[in-house]
Copies of this chain bind each other. A is one copy, B any other.
Amino acid sequence: MDSKICQEMRYTVHFYPDDVKVVVYAGTTVLQAAIDASIYIPSSCGGEGLCGRCKIIIDKQEVLACRTQVDTDLEVRIPPVLDRKRLAKKRVVLPIKKQGLNPITKKLYLELPFPKPGDNIDDLYRLIQGIKKECGISPSIEFPIIQKLSKTLREERFKVTVSLLDVNEKPTIVNVEPGDTRSNHYSIALDIGTTSIYAQLLDLEEGKVLAETSCFNPQIVCGEDIISRIVYSLKPGNLKRLQELVVKAINEIVEDLTHVAKIEKSDINQIVVAGNTTMIHLLLGIDPRYIRESPYTPTCNFIPPVRAKEIGIDLPPYAYIYIIPSIASFIGGDITSGILASKLYETQELSLYIDIGTNGEIVLGNREMLVACSCSAGPAFEGGGVSCGTFATFGAIERVRIDRDYEPEIETIGGVKPKGICGSGLIDTLAELLMNKIISQNGKFNEDLKTKRVRKKEGGFEYVICWKDENDLDHDIVLTEVDIDNLMRAKAAIYAGISLLLEKLELTLSDISKIIISGNFGQYIDLRNAHIIGLFPEVSLDRFEYIGNGSLLGARLCSFSKDMLNQTREIANSVTNIELSDNPRFYDEYLQALFLPHTNMEEFPGVSEKLKKRA
């Protein structure tokens, strides 16, 4: 058999526990096969064999999926990492006043005069004049509406509801419905993160959140972080695939939200999206290649409204997507949105805004100046790169206390059996391990403890947070030395970013009146523990403010208010981006922060005190 024929042989790869089969050509890597089958295998180097994270089990052997080629039928077991189930939906009522509502898509009810002989007025002019009379503007109109206009106007005897896209340049009529439909007017707020997507369905007439949901960003099957996704997108067809994956997830979210809230998709008039620059490029099918190449140029930071249907979202043609503008390649619209939501840009006092997602972004400023930087923290605090990490979903361990006998006490989201540890649980665990001397300040395990909770495995030491028979998995929930390394690297990057930003502006912590924390950690982070591990500067706890998912919050505010949406453009234009990757001082600061809480213990006097007491 010559090699050509050989290459055309095809084999079946059977993935467990998903129980999904895929047929691939001989020579395909298992990682590629998994991508083809939409099966998630952790990976962050774009399949280059560098990150060592795409471990799978074939014939009881652990191998790397990206380095293993298919040359026979295979049974592949993927070690459990993340729970891919959705967060439960809940119904929340926000305290937003109805009279304050001013969404960019407006509904206007009109009772137009009937045509009369000799008045020589065509239907479209009649409509435009009616709008002008009502609110003084003379809008343009989308073509497909004209096609059906004569019938629409006459259906309810010239009583119609007009949907207006109220952009500054020239308002546009995007829909005309017979009768009065003002009460059916909804928006979706979306936060599209590298790891997960959060969504809320909003009632634009009442100013309420009707439903919310979240899911993994299904693009993670193609790479876990921004860089590996961009690398993945470079091959032919892959950009399209990335776009289709996220659009499919959004379509499912739309189905879920409308089902829960019992509303019609045809009444959704807008989507407001916040996301990092790369996620927005991928959502819109825009080539992200130059984001990654120096001088790190995005195709666009500000994007005009895009018809949802145009990118494959299953909504009516009059539903538009408004993208919250980005600031730079690595400071995205999610940060702009968070700056809006936190009111950072409005206050006299200086504040520090810290967003912990798959990356860490830091903004320092007030109403006079805004400076931002991005630190490659990695997704550890979102549960990524941590063996039993998960994001803040039902069953995630979000609180951990360890007693003098080294036994943990845990709380999970929803109070159900544990499935993994989320950000706040990881911070707690790390802090408790340190305070109980189970690990040292450089993150290494104390090998002399008399407890079954600390044990040695092939990969090194680990601490068992939850035994297999107490959880919902087929293995113990542990925190390994490798996990601790990842968490320390993440917190060091964030702390170094903060230090450098202050240094650049010749400021000290005493100049900062408020530290605003944004992120999806489950419940609030235990700030005492965040101090113990040196994630945040040790300042008085009352100077901290936690706003939850700032990106989603900003998208919600922009859904309700055109003025806020316009404000985001001003914010994005006014933020100065500081590139840390070029800065040697950043690496110095980073190395100093690779210690619990920090090499320079003077920066953490309170934690030093506590550690001494425990000694």
Residues of chain A whose beta carbon lies under 8 Å from any beta carbon of chain B: 115-125, 140-141, 143-144, 146-151, 154, 169-170, 284-287, 289-290, 294-295, 297-304, 306-307, 310, 326, 328, 577, 579, 582
The answer to whether A115 touches B284 (Cβ under 8 A) is no
Distance between Cα atoms of A328 and B150 in the complex (Å): 15
The answer to whether A147 touches B295 (Cβ under 8 A) is no
A282 shortest CB reach to chain B, Å: 11
Interfacial chain B residues near A149, Cβ < 8 Å: 286, 299-300
- 6 A-B pairs (CB sep. < 8 Å): A115-B297, A118-B579, A144-B310, A150-B289, A150-B290, A150-B297
Assuming A124-B302, A169-B170, what are 20 further A-B pairs, CB within 8 angstroms?
A: A117-B582, A118-B579, A121-B297, A122-B297, A122-B298, A122-B301, A122-B326, A123-B290, A123-B299, A125-B301, A125-B302, A140-B169, A143-B284, A143-B306, A146-B286, A147-B284, A147-B286, A149-B299, A151-B289, A170-B170
Distance between Cα atoms of A147 and B119 in the complex (Å): 46
Distance between Cα atoms of A307 and B144 in the complex (Å): 11
A120 shortest CB reach to chain B, Å: 6
Interfacial chain B residues near A170, Cβ < 8 Å: 169-170
The answer to whether A284 touches B119 (Cβ under 8 A) is no
Interfacial chain B residues near A148, Cβ < 8 Å: 287
User: Known: A116-B295, A150-B289. Is A300-B124 also a contact (CB below 8 A)?
Assistant: yes
A97 shortest CB reach to chain B, Å: 33
Distance between Cα atoms of A150 and B117 in the complex (Å): 55
Distance between Cα atoms of A147 and B299 in the complex (Å): 8
Distance between Cα atoms of A169 and B144 in the complex (Å): 20
A372 shortest CB reach to chain B, Å: 11
Q: Which residue of B lies closest to A329 (CB)?
A: B122
The answer to whether B125 touches A300 (Cβ under 8 A) is yes
Interfacial chain B residues near A151, Cβ < 8 Å: 287, 289
Interfacial chain B residues near A302, Cβ < 8 Å: 124-125
Distance between Cα atoms of A261 and B330 in the complex (Å): 50
Interfacial chain B residues near A579, Cβ < 8 Å: 117-118
Distance between Cα atoms of A298 and B124 in the complex (Å): 9
A101 shortest CB reach to chain B, Å: 26
Distance between Cα atoms of A10 and B152 in the complex (Å): 38
Distance between Cα atoms of A299 and B141 in the complex (Å): 13
The answer to whether B303 touches A123 (Cβ under 8 A) is no
Distance between Cα atoms of A285 and B150 in the complex (Å): 12
Q: Which residue of B lies closest to A307 (CB)?
A: B143
Distance between Cα atoms of A289 and B150 in the complex (Å): 8
Distance between Cα atoms of A170 and B170 in the complex (Å): 8
Interfacial chain B residues near A582, Cβ < 8 Å: 117
Which of A143, A169, A284 has the most chain B CB atoms inside 10 A of its CB? A143
A323 shortest CB reach to chain B, Å: 11
User: Known: A170-B169, A170-B170. Is A300-B146 also a contact (CB below 8 A)?
Assistant: yes
Distance between Cα atoms of A299 and B123 in the complex (Å): 5
Distance between Cα atoms of A118 and B300 in the complex (Å): 16
The answer to whether A287 touches B125 (Cβ under 8 A) is no
Interfacial chain B residues near A116, Cβ < 8 Å: 295
Q: Which residue of B lies closest to A154 (CB)?
A: B290
Distance between Cα atoms of A110 and B577 in the complex (Å): 28
The answer to whether B118 touches A295 (Cβ under 8 A) is yes
A293 shortest CB reach to chain B, Å: 10
Interfacial chain B residues near A284, Cβ < 8 Å: 143, 146-147
Distance between Cα atoms of A124 and B303 in the complex (Å): 9
Interfacial chain B residues near A326, Cβ < 8 Å: 122
User: Known: A115-B295, A150-B287, A306-B143. Is A577-B120 also a contact (CB below 8 A)?
Assistant: yes
Interfacial chain B residues near A125, Cβ < 8 Å: 300-302
The answer to whether B123 touches A295 (Cβ under 8 A) is no
Distance between Cα atoms of A151 and B328 in the complex (Å): 18
A157 shortest CB reach to chain B, Å: 14
The answer to whether B304 touches A140 (Cβ under 8 A) is yes
Name A123's contact: one of B123, B140, B298 (CB within 8 Å).
B298
Interfacial chain B residues near A287, Cβ < 8 Å: 147-148, 150-151
Distance between Cα atoms of A115 and B296 in the complex (Å): 9
A112 shortest CB reach to chain B, Å: 12
A426 shortest CB reach to chain B, Å: 34
Interfacial chain B residues near A119, Cβ < 8 Å: 295
Which of A144, A150, A297 has the most chain B CB atoms inside 10 A of its CB? A297
Distance between Cα atoms of A570 and B125 in the complex (Å): 15
Q: Which residue of B lies closest to A296 (CB)?
A: B117
A256 shortest CB reach to chain B, Å: 27
The answer to whether A304 touches B120 (Cβ under 8 A) is no
Distance between Cα atoms of A104 and B522 in the complex (Å): 56
Name A124's contact: one of B140, B144, B146, B299 (CB within 8 Å).
B299
Q: Which residue of B lies closest to A126 (CB)?
A: B297
A55 shortest CB reach to chain B, Å: 35
Distance between Cα atoms of A123 and B299 in the complex (Å): 5
Distance between Cα atoms of A270 and B552 in the complex (Å): 42
The answer to whether B328 touches A120 (Cβ under 8 A) is yes
Interfacial chain B residues near A123, Cβ < 8 Å: 290, 297-300
Interfacial chain B residues near A294, Cβ < 8 Å: 117
A573 shortest CB reach to chain B, Å: 10
Interfacial chain B residues near A144, Cβ < 8 Å: 310
A216 shortest CB reach to chain B, Å: 25
Q: Which residue of B lies closest to A277 (CB)?
A: B122
Distance between Cα atoms of A536 and B424 in the complex (Å): 92
Distance between Cα atoms of A117 and B289 in the complex (Å): 16
Interfacial chain B residues near A120, Cβ < 8 Å: 328, 577
Interfacial chain B residues near A121, Cβ < 8 Å: 297
